[in-house]
Structures are given as structure tokens and as C-alpha cells.
Amino acid sequence: MARTLVERPVSRRVFLKSTALVAVAAATTGATAISGCNVVPGLSSKEKMSVWTDATFAPASDDYQTKVINDWAQQNNVEVEITRDPGGDVQTKLQAALESKQLPDISQVDSGRYTLFQRTGNLLDVSDLYAELGQPWGGFYKSAAEIVTVEGKQYALPYSIDSSLILYRNDVLQKHGVNGFPGTWKEVVEKLKPLQDPPNLYLAGVQFNKAGTDSENTFAMWALGHGAALQAEDSKTLTIKTPEMLTFLNELKWSWDEGIYPPGVTGWDNAGNNTALQDGKVIFIHNPASPLVWFRENKPDMLPNIGVAGTPGGPKGKFNQAYMRDGFAIMKTGDQKRTDRSKDLLRRLYSKDVYRQWIGLAFPAPAVAGMEDHEVWSNPQRKGFLEAAKTGVRGGYPGHDTPATAELGTRTPWLTMATRMVVDGWTPTQAMEELDQIARDVYSKYFK
């Protein structure tokens, strides 16, 4: 028998306002749930385990995964307690579980949670299982491998790779004789600005507000197109004050001066860009797949008009950030039987029939390389995600994500520079120099 708990999404705003309450509740319910995994002699012959998973923007894939776990549990005479919460709530619960030393058997992790919790020493080294599960598929994509590999070992199993891509009104482009989305940011502004119809339709639905962190990735990929990045390959050396960074910032400020952004973007949160596309107020946004799910469920007639393209580039090339949306970590419980059960369940989730069906229902790309013949990629709205998984760059590129990059990320470095220029009227040089000092203060805590 298996139970599924708490499967409703929670907005970022509600989550942030209730963090303290969630943490207390998680510490209490988490300890209760895990203590329930102890078999009481004479009352049950079933072994018990707990699996903490994420509620995603594709409920059909979540429901299918839950069914697979339930079926595996029944076949193996195991009682599995499944919780399916928004990712932020899973992170809060994991933090409480680590502090109380009451760990689940398996927890889903994304790139951020993996970076945060791998360094605690509570994630099991699954290098052997990683090699075993990747072998039938021909291995994992380079982006997936780089995300989970730490000093030659893997402490989580990547399941899907996601990316922010360009979602655009292809019907608007076609109406004006434009075939395909331009390949560089400069071309986007120059070629598509004439398609605007202010105040009814603007070009770019991109936030210039620190609460709108979707555009943090937008600006990071835009900068890479000019050869600008926050750090070097060694993940220790800062590279903010460079000619390439100044060139990028000047182009970003130029795009603002061109009037391609709707009024109010300096106050948008992470719902602002999605809503603008859904309401027909902008030509494009840069976002993961959630708006496609929304169109499918709310405006299905509009869905065929939404094009999907890779992120535009610059003189140094085109970049898409690839990150682990779904991954599985086996926790160090100290119980070998629980560990063995966890490995067996993950073998089932990576089996070809299950994995292929799940990716057809979900909206990211697989982490494994052996699914490029899947019929789902014939849909141009899905194909872009596969391309991002194949060619995407990891967080922290050209270095790696580290605790230093994680802390700097909480300062929204790219948005900090952008808002300084467009809200506070700073020059690109001033914005760059301020961020360089912020980054040095952060990195000095980790690197001497």
C-alpha cells in the first residue's frame, strides 16, 4: 500500500511568506512521517520506505510516476510513503530532516538542492548505480554528467534536464513575413521591434526586478554570448570587470532604451512574464515550459501559435543553461536494507518502458542520451528542450556551481546590474564595479 500526500502547488510568494511556518511544520511532520517507517513487530510484515518527490508543472507525469512507484511497492511487498510537494518545500523539509537526523530513503533534488545538500555528506555515493543505469541508454548527456559529478563521483542520479528557452508568438512573426526567431540578441531587437504595437503589444516580456528571477538566467546567457561571465574555469577567480562584461551591459542598456519592454517590468515577479505572453501583451519570453502547459489547459487554440527556440547568442556563440530539474538522491540512512530497496526502485524508474513513457508526459528533456528517437521530439515545442540538454552549459559556467556561486546567486548578480542601470540610472561601468565588489566579499569567505 502506498500513500500520496500534499499534491497541490504553492506559489513562490506564498512560500516566501510562510517559510518559518513551513520549516516548523516540516520538522514536525517529517519526523512523524519517517518514524512511521519503522516496522512494528506483529502488526505488519511489509517493509517501509519514504520517497520525497516534487510537484511539477506537468501533473500527468507526476501521477504516472506515483503509479509506477505504487506498483513497484505492491510487487515487492513494500509500503511506500510518497510526498509530492513544490521544490521549495522539499528543500525546507530536507533541511529539517538533516537537523533532526530523520532522513527519507530517497529525495528528489534539482541542481540547486544538489549543490546545497551534497556538501553536507548526507547523500550516498551512487557512482556504481550511476554507471549501471546509464549503460543501457548509452550514458548521460554531458550537461547532466557535469552537474552531478563532484571530484569524479556522483551523489545523485540525474533524471531530467530543463532549460529556459524562447517562447514566442510565431503567428505574429509570420504575419509580418519573419520566418524563425533571430539568432542573436541584437538581431532580436533590430528585426522584431517593428512588429510591436504599443501599448497593446511589446516585444520582450523580461523582468527588471529582483523578485523576477526568471530573467537572471536570461541575462546570464546573454552575457555568455559576449564572452562575459562571473567566474573563470577554476570556479575561484572572478571575471566580472572585463571588456566583455562592459560590452554586454552596454547592449542590455541599449535594448532598454529601444523601448521593447512593457511598462511595469521593473515591478514584475516571476508570474509577470508568463502572464504577459498568456494575455497576448508581448511577442516573446525566456522561460521553462510551464507556459506551454498553461496554454494546453487554458487556451488550447493558441498553443499551435507558440514557437520555441534556443536562447539567442552573441559574437562568442549561443548558450542555453542546462540544469537538473529532476534528480534522485539516496540518503545516508545507515540502513543497508533501505539503501538496497531504494536502488531497486530507481532501477525501475530508469527502465526503458517507464522512462520513455514519463518523458512523453513531462516537459523537460531526459538526462540520458539514448532517447533521441522518441516520437515526442517531432513536436517542435518539445525539440528545443532536447537541444538544450545536448548542448547546454551547467550552472556557474565556465566553472562549476559551488557554495560561493550559490551564495552569490542569492544576490541576483545579473539582475542587480540590470536594475542599477534602468531603475537607478547608473552607468554600465558603475553597475559592473559594484557587482565586482559584492562578488569579492562573497568569494572571500570560501577562497583565500
Domains assigned to the chain: 2-163+323-391 (3.40.190.10), 165-319+402-443 (3.40.190.10)
**pLDDT for res 4:** 36
What band does 275 get if pLDDT is binned at 50, 70 and 90? very high
pLDDT tens digits for range 193-224: 999 999 999 999 999 999 988 999 999 999 99
| C-alpha cell, 212 | 523576477
The conformational region for residue 152 under phi > 0 = left, psi -120 to 50 = alpha, else beta, is left
pLDDT tens digits for range 322-348: 999 999 999 999 999 999 999 999 999
Angstrom distance (rounded) from CA 271 to CA 274: 5
The conformational region for residue 139 under phi > 0 = left, psi -120 to 50 = alpha, else beta, is left
Identify residue 203 by its one-letter amino acid code.
L
Nearest 10 degrees: Cα torsion 313, 363, 159, 324: 40
pTM of the model: 0.79
**pLDDT for res 16:** 32
**pLDDT for res 289:** 83
pLDDT tens digits for range 291-320: 998 998 899 999 999 999 999 999 999 999
pLDDT tens digits for range 13-65: 333 333 333 333 333 334 333 334 444 444 456 899 999 999 998 899 999 99
Of 381, 385, 225, the residue nearest 318 (C-alpha): 225
- Answer yes or no: is pLDDT of 414 > 90: yes
